[in-house]
Amino acid sequence: MSKMSELHAQKELIDRLENNEDKFVIEISYTDNEETGWRKYDFENMKEQFEEKMNELEIDAQKRHDDFQEKQQDYAMDNMTCMEYSDKIVNDMILYLRVNSVMEIYYIDGTSNKTNREKVDDATDLRFYDYKTDSHYTREDVTKIALEEGWKEGWKK
C-alpha cells in the first residue's frame, strides 16, 4: 500500500468515526399481541444478530492485525535488503575507513573461522582482517562501522 493510499484510508476512517458510521445495527424483532397490546420481543433472534456482528468485528480485527504483521515483515525485509551492499560498495567503504584512519583492511580473509580453516564459498562468511586492531570482522561489521563513521555513497576526501 502506497503512502497516499494509506493516508486516504486513514482519512476515510476518521470521516466514518466523525459520521458515526462505525456502528452496527441489529433489527429489533418483535410481535405485537393485538388483544393485550403487549409487545413480545424475539431476544433469541436479536442475540444471534448481535453475535454475528461481533464475529464480523473479531474477523476484521484479526485481519487488521495480520495485515499489520505482514507490513512489519515487509518493512523488515526491505531494511535487510537495503543493508546488503555489492562488493564494489563494500570496497568503497573499506577505502573510506582506510583514508579516515579508522581501519587498515587490505584483504579479505578467504577462510572461515572454523578450526579446519576450510575455504569459504559463501561471500557472506568472508572475514575481513584489520591490521590496525589485529581483528577479524564480518562483512556486516565492516558496513556497520563504515556507516557509523559517516560513509556516504560518492564520498570525497
pLDDT band at 120 (very low <50, low <70, confident <90, very high): very low
Q: Which residues contact 67 (CB under 8 A, 6 or more apart)?
A: none
30 & 70 share domain:
yes
Of 65, 82, 99, the domain-final residue? 82
Of 25, 57, 82, the domain-final residue? 82
59 & 101 share domain:
no
Does any domain span residue 155?
A: no
Q: Please compute the mean of the pLDDT values over residues 135-156 and round it to a whole number.
A: 87
Per residue in 48-93, pLDDT tens? 999 998 888 888 889 888 888 888 777 666 555 445 788 888 888 9
Please give the mean pLDDT across all residues of the chain. Answer: 78
In the prediction, which pLDDT does 56 show? 85
Max distance between CA atoms of the chain, in angstroms, equals 102
Grid cell at residue 85: 551492499
Q: What's the count of helices (H) and strands (E) in the chain, helices before strands?
A: 4, 5
Grid cell at residue 76: 523488515
Q: Please compute the mean of the pLDDT values over residues 120-142 and round it to a whole number.
A: 75
Neighbours of 120 (CB within 10 A): 17
